[in-house]
Amino acid sequence: MRITPNTSLLRAGAIASPHRAATEAGERVLAAGGNALDAAIATNAMLAVVYPHMCGLGGDLFLLYREARTGEVHCLNGTGRAPALATPAAFAQRGLDAVPARGPLSLTVPGTVGAWAAALDRFGSLSLAEILAPATARATDGIEVTARIAAWIEEARDDIAADPALREWFLDAAGAPVAAGTVVRLPDLAATLRRLGDAGAPDLYAGELAQRLGGAVEAAGGLLTAEDLGVYRPDWTAPVAIRHAGLDVLTTPPNSQGVTALLMLRRMRRIAPPGTVAYLDDFVAAKLHAFALRDAHMTDADHMRVTPDELLADAAPVAPAPPAPVCGDTVYACAVDADGNACSLIQSLYYGFGSCFVAGDTGILMHNRAHYFSLRPDAANVLAPGKRTLHTLMACMALEDGRPRYVFGTMGADGQPQVNVQVLHRLLAGAPPADAVAAPRVLHGRFALEDDPDTLHVEADHGPAGPDVVAERHPRVAVVPARSELLGHAHAIAIGADGQITAGADPRSDGTAAVVWR
């Protein structure tokens, strides 16, 4: 895309993401006259290159898009379905009582690229080729490994070592993780991005890329086939919403866990000052109730026995449910433009580095979303061919009199509803976005599956209810460092009644936020 300088100072919008290079990509789109959707997808495409442990072409996404022309908020479900061969019996025949966390058996159809194309076709002002060009150049030139990425490589080094492409990218000749500051070039990924720009998104689902991807999975013993890719379609649907503190709070419907945050907000009608003991007492009680409903009922909307409205009306029973693998790593980005369009986008590979399986020479690191399925026949989220698994992914937006007031979201698996609630309440208490996303937070329960589900994680600088005060009221408290990644990467944009735009990116990430002028 050609960027034409413009010296007139007109506010063009705002963008926030977890990596500086990605925010800059979205910023350039807005400055050149692109809309919020163009900017969000350009940001996501760059994140797919520079934050490869958390997102990429092999993952899924959800987005909310507020169309200024009509005032309507649309939801795009860009999550893939289970392969036709994926049944509990298929895993039992392999001696498995759970879908593996890594490798080719953990794959579902990757929905991201198809969702990008569908969103741009409907609301974008730029082509997919224009959107992908900066990310293609960055993959060719190389990405710099940040200290945070280096830590993730260290944590996943054994799984990374098992895949030839990942090993070449992220481990040195001796098998040690590359150091922060290392420049890693991704030529296979660059070639795939270039091909998608030339041939279009359908190539990944029904063209040469689909055949190469499906063949690589089959050769590795996986269940995903080119035929599974060929039947994929992203779905436009309506968001779910409640009225809270004078705002209409919207989020993504099942198979997203977004309703979980709304359930928490509905329980927290009395909003004590964030950070106080009273707030935390209400927060933990709301979380326990909401998560019990989520685990008992939520899955692919086509397979749910209750509706989101019944969940929100407390008309669905709470029943014990088996624990789900909740470890997840994700990117969230938000964008608004001068015309009042707004985009809230979340995209993920699920675990850090997803399945740790790169599909042949495509450079596509595949997600491991099938791992979230249960193989228990009585579970709501039981595996079935063509079914979409429950996702921890959720994107959020709050409207005031039909206009965007806040656009916000976070990464963080089970932490996502919890962080979104805390960030929204900080915003409602008057904090600007940068302060709302940076403020100390808590996380009740697990981030990874092996974590204690009853521990309350409290950042060391939390207050006025600091760790010592919280420990007097909760049986299990774990103090984590201030601005710990365990508490997610939250980003937010606020639009005032006078049109003033402010934005904030979480200091727990490598991100930045920008208000853009042109």
User: Can you tell me the distance from the alpha carbon of 396 to that of 334, in angstroms, rounded to the nearest whole number?
Assistant: 9
Alpha carbon 220 to its chain centroid, in Å, reads: 27
C-beta pairs of 469-474 under 8 Å, 24+ apart in sequence: 469/277, 470/277, 470/280, 470/442, 473/277, 473/280, 473/281, 474/284
User: Can you tell me the distance from the alpha carbon of 141 to that of 368, in angstroms, rounded to the nearest whole number?
Assistant: 28
Say how many C-beta atoms besides its own lie within 10 A of residue 247's C-beta: 20
Q: How many CA atoms lie within 13 A of 167 on its CB side?
A: 9
**Annotated catalytic residue, options 79, 330, 410, 512:** 330
Query: SS3 for 427?
Result: helix
User: Can you tell me the distance from the alpha carbon of 130 to that of 120, in angstroms, rounded to the nearest whole number?
Assistant: 11
Query: Quick one: which H or E segment has residue 112?
Result: helix 112-123
Task: Express the helix, strand and coil content of the chain in percent, nearest 5 each.
Answer: 35, 20, 40
Residue-level length of the chain: 518
Q: What sign does the dihedral 124-211-106-56 (CA atoms) show?
A: negative
- Judging by DSSP bridges, how do beta strands 235-237 and 329-337 pair with one another? unpaired
Kindly state the tokens that stand for 264.
């928490």
User: Can you tell me the distance from the alpha carbon of 379 to that of 369, in angstroms, rounded to the nearest whole number?
Assistant: 17
CA separation (Å) from 307 to 235, 294, 304? Answer: 18, 12, 7
Angle made by CA atoms 354, 449, 447, in degrees to the nearest 5:
80
Question: Is there a contact between 259 and 249 (Cβ–Cβ < 8 Å)?
Answer: no
Active site residue 330: yes
User: Can you tell me the distance from the alpha carbon of 3 to that of 415, in angstroms, rounded to the nearest whole number?
Assistant: 38
| Closest CA relative to residue 338, chosen from 11, 3, 9 | 11
User: Can you tell me the distance from the alpha carbon of 270 to that of 414, in angstroms, rounded to the nearest whole number?
Assistant: 23
User: Residue 401: is it exposed, middle or buried by C-beta count within 10 angstroms (0-12/13-18/19+)?
Assistant: exposed
Catalytic residue numbers, as ranges = 330
